[in-house]
Structure 1
Amino acid sequence: MTSRAFPASTNAAPEAGPGSLPGSLPTAAIRGDVPAAWMTWLTTEHYNLQTQRAATIGEANGRASIFLGALSAGLIALGFAATGDRTAGTTTFEVLVLSSLVALGTITFLRCLQIAIDDWDFGDRIRHLRAIYADLLPDLADRLGSMTSDEQAVVMLRPLLNRLQSLLTVAGSMCVITAIVFGGDAGVLSYGLGLSLAWSITIGAVAGASFAALGVRFQTARWVGADLARRASAANAEPDQVLDACAPRQAGLL
């Protein structure tokens, strides 16, 4: 078995040659002469990113479970407190319970959205590492498969319902559930203030739909902003400089 030829010293970074990858990967490395220190660094970075992705997924699931558990407990409490007569005390209790659930749901939605964006960023960085593997070790390029793919290939709702794609995430689910609770809270408060049942249901439905619409818009705007920041980072530019290039896509999502 023949051994690979490595540079005599791996302490200093080799100079980049023609055809080098971004990040000063020399042509010698692309041919397969990969220093062991490089591979150690790449695999360590890959492991760290995978660990961070696992942590974000675990936190998102934990927060969603906490919210759903609190929601179940709150609904059970409302069921036990329900009586035939509507009193000020009953209305106050229901509003307090539902308002607390709305607050918890909103916080869960915001944090799950932040976690989802972090997870997407970690996954994108892992994809770039896989591309580096394929360039450093050409023999593995076919086994690693394609490093890039069209985002539209995994879109479940298209093309007219593309704006609702964000509802398929954990954050989107928390947004919808919180919107329903918010609508119920508004309806209960309206009914407690003396409005008719029909008007209370209408107010609750409008409030819930408005909350859901704002949540979808906010989530889409955050995703667009994260994508612009990633494109700017890749181009070594400011986000405003790549905004014009992404304007058609942004207009279609917002």
Structure 2
Amino acid sequence: MDDGEREQALLTALTTEHFVLQTSRSATVTESVGRATVFLSMLSAALIGLGFVSSNAAFVGPYLGAVLPTLMITGLLTFLRLVQDMVENELDLARIQRIRAYYQHRLAAEHDFFADAVQSEGTMRASWAAVGSAPGRAQMLLTTAAMVGAVNALLAGLSVTLLAGLAGLSSGFAIGVGTVLALLAFATQVAYINRASISEPR
């Protein structure tokens, strides 16, 4: 196989890989939306159920005791999978940018069709530039995982507030403890997202 045939074979392989990576990115986005939708649907159904049982105070405690742990476990598992999807998406995007950089170097020449894929700052910055964003920890707050993490934090804070109230503590103290725990839970999940992300911090 001469150099021309080898380069043509490589280009064919890269084109196929590019398509596969784009398909993989679409799959991760679809899965993320699906998982988040299922979790939020469960939360919505739980709130509707609470509306039905709230007319009888005797049912509220057992209902919340059954529903809140279920929602928190489901929310945590959903959050962890969404973080995995986010990382997979970042990896796919970085690999696509490497292929596009090859297109720019070998094929585009003086044209700038794929110029955004060739940046001195690194592959991940080029990847973020391709979707119109700058890499940074604040961007992690806009992910689906962070949204579910916020809901998880609220559920954790609510659970602690209810437990503190049942323990006979004052309403103000119970709400304060629940608020602090919710903030800590959210901060912990955001920190986990940042550690898992392969993006370069600003």
Please confirm whether the aligned pair reaches a TM-score higher than 0.5, indicating the same fold.
yes
Partner in structure 1 of residue 48 of structure 2: 76
Identify which range, 173-182 or 93-102, moves more after superposition. 93-102
Partner Cα separation in structure 2 for residue 131 and residue 163 of structure 1: 25
- Report the alpha carbon displacement of residue 138 of structure 1 after superposing the two structures with TM: 3.3
| 2:90–2:199 Cα contact (<8 Å) kept | no
- Report the alpha carbon displacement of residue 109 of structure 1 after superposing the two structures with TM: 0.9
SS at match of 2:102: helix
Per-residue deviation, residues 195-249 of structure 1 (Å, max 9, x unmatched): 22222212211121111111111111222xx358xxxxxxxxxxxxxxxxxxxx5
- The answer on 1:209 being equivalent to 2:187 is no
- Report the alpha carbon displacement of residue 163 of structure 1 after superposing the two structures with TM: 4.4
Partner in structure 2 of residue 144 of structure 1: 114
| 2:50–2:60 Cα contact (<8 Å) kept | no
Q: Which runs of 5+ in 2 are unaligned?
A: none
Partner in structure 1 of residue 147 of structure 2: 173
Partner Cα separation in structure 2 for residue 53 and residue 207 of structure 1: 34
Q: Partner letter of residue 63 of structure 1?
A: R
Partner in structure 2 of residue 218 of structure 1: 192
Partner Cα separation in structure 1 for residue 148 and residue 16 of structure 2: 34
- The answer on 1:50 being equivalent to 2:27 is no
Partner Cα separation in structure 2 for residue 171 and residue 77 of structure 1: 26
SS at match of 1:146: helix
- Report the alpha carbon displacement of residue 45 of structure 1 after superposing the two structures with TM: 0.6
Partner in structure 2 of residue 131 of structure 1: 101
Partner Cα separation in structure 1 for residue 165 and residue 79 of structure 2: 28
From the superposition, tell whether residues 155 and 147 of structure 1 become closer, same or farther in structure 2 (CA, over 3 Å): closer
CA RMSD of aligned residues (A): 2.6
Partner Cα separation in structure 1 for residue 141 and residue 171 of structure 2: 30
Q: Partner letter of residue 69 of structure 2?
A: S
Per-residue deviation, residues 137-196 of structure 1 (Å, max 9, x unmatched): 13574222321456487249xxxxx64431111111110111111111111122223222
Runs of 4+ aligned structure 1 residues displaced above 4 Å come to: none
Partner Cα separation in structure 1 for residue 170 and residue 60 of structure 2: 17
Q: TM-score, normalising length from structure 1? A: 0.68
Q: Partner letter of residue 142 of structure 1?
A: D
| 1:95–1:188 Cα contact (<8 Å) kept | no
Per-residue deviation, residues 38-69 of structure 1 (Å, max 9, x unmatched): 22111101111111111111100100100110
Partner Cα separation in structure 2 for residue 217 and residue 197 of structure 1: 30
SS at match of 1:47: helix
Per-residue deviation, residues 85-127 of structure 1 (Å, max 9, x unmatched): 4x4x532321321121111111111111111011011000000
Partner Cα separation in structure 1 for residue 162 and residue 85 of structure 2: 33
| 1:113–1:219 Cα contact (<8 Å) kept | yes
Identity of aligned residues (%): 32
- Report the alpha carbon displacement of residue 34 of structure 1 after superposing the two structures with TM: 7.1
Higher relative contact order (CA 8 A, sep 6+): 2
Q: How many residues align?
A: 193
Which runs of structure 2 are paired with 1:78-157 in the superposition (5 Å)? 78-83=50-55, 85=57, 87=58, 90-139=60-109, 141-148=111-118, 151=125, 154-155=133-134
- The answer on 1:184 being equivalent to 2:158 is yes
Structure showing the higher helix proportion among its residues: 2
- The answer on 1:40 being equivalent to 2:12 is yes
Q: TM-score, normalising length from structure 2? A: 0.84
